[in-house]
Amino acid sequence: MKRLRLAHLPTPIVHDARLSTVLGVDLWIKRDDATGGAEAGNKVRKLEYLLADALVRGAKHVVTCGGLQSNHARATAILACRLGLDCTLLLRVDGPASGPEHEADIRSLPTTGNVLLDRLVGARIRTITPDQYADRDETMASVADEIGSAYVIPEGGSNGLGALGYVEAMREVREQGDAFDVVVHACGSGGTAAGIALGCAAHGAAERVLAIAVCDDAAYFERTIARIVSEALSLAKLPSPAPLVVDDRSKGPRYGVMSDEQRAFLRRCAREAGVLLDPVYTGKAMFGLRAAVERGDVPRGARVLFVHTGGLPGLLAQGDVLT
């Protein structure tokens, strides 16, 4: 499979003595928040495959979608720009939207976080409603048609091809040292989970995977991850995935919003360990890991690899609720 070298690899695996004490496990952090500069995060590993495919197919323009402050949309916009590709983002908003047919009024868009970065690299932004987002694949296909020869990247870069980025990440983990009991990470569109489960089995990086859902529910993700796994298996020769559990008990009030308890824990990780987590993904995943240890789902003392998947611009866009 063709792959561009876009990520700064290997990302470090760092032992965190302070959070190990807080959580009661032997905690190691895979620093995939450091896969790059402004584009950093887990999406870069997927985009190495997806953007390679776009170039092979002769695309001049890529289309993708996400929430308004989507990390995936931002990573795609920055890397597309660097490769000389035009980029159109369909971003979900709660209020009035331009619709998939029109560019959004620039004055209606935030000047912070991911959207600031999208704007700086000149991405074309169209805002869509939650209903339009529910039909995102169709909506993106019709926008791509309208543009002509545009390459569509699914939500979160999560298809079989994108997931190969995390199969390779687990090879990297195994090459960096001993295997882990469990890999824990935030799950938002399922591609990271699918790749990690396949990669753990293929490369012996860990026995099992705990995916902490930040939206939707466990049944939705089990279906979605199974679909992505089967797509990946049709692209690459891989063994069946390692056991994976989706835990949807730490989603908080809703996507992008933390409970007071979750916010307090995010602050505690920052103050006590200097570990900066974001409110949309990694903060909920670390909170979910702590809850899983307290319930006994992850045994005390287990050798745990927490994948820090990035999200710093999302944190910086929520300064009003985090201070």
CA 134 → CA 36, 43, 102, distances in Å?
31, 21, 18
Q: Candidates 173-181, 267-275, 288-296, 309-317: pick the segment binding ligand PLP (CB under 6 A).
A: 309-317
- First vs last Cα of the chain: how many Å apart? 45
For residue 256, state whether it binds ligand PLP (rule: CB under 6 A): no
What DSSP designation does 146 have?
Answer: H
190 near ligand PLP, judged by CB under 6 A? yes
Q: Are 76 and 153 in contact (CB under 8 A)?
A: yes
Q: How many residues does the chain have?
A: 323
Q: Binding to ligand PLP by residue 199, rule CB under 6 A?
A: no
Q: Is 41 in the site for ligand PLP (CB under 6 A)?
A: yes
Which listed residue (20, 70, 158, 259) is catalytic? 70
Instruction: Write the burial class of residue 111 (CB in 10 Å: 0-12 exposed, 13-18 middle, 19+ buried).
Output: exposed
One residue of 269, 282, 287, 305 binding ligand PLP per CB under 6 A: 282
- Which of 30, 45, 61, 72 contacts ligand PLP by CB under 6 A? 72
For the question of residue 230 being annotated catalytic, the response is: no
What CA–CA distance (Å, rounded) separates 286 from 179?
20
Question: Per rule CB under 6 A, is residue 252 in the interface with ligand PLP?
Answer: no
Contacting residue, 88, 189, 250, 262, with ligand PLP by CB under 6 A: 189
- Give the tokens for residue 19: 């959070």
Supply the minimum distance, in Å, between the C-beta of residue 311 and ligand PLP: 3
Q: Coil, strand, or helix at residue 147?
A: helix
Binding site for ligand PLP (CB under 6 A): 41-42, 71-72, 156, 158, 186-193, 278, 281-282, 309-311
Catalytic residues: 70
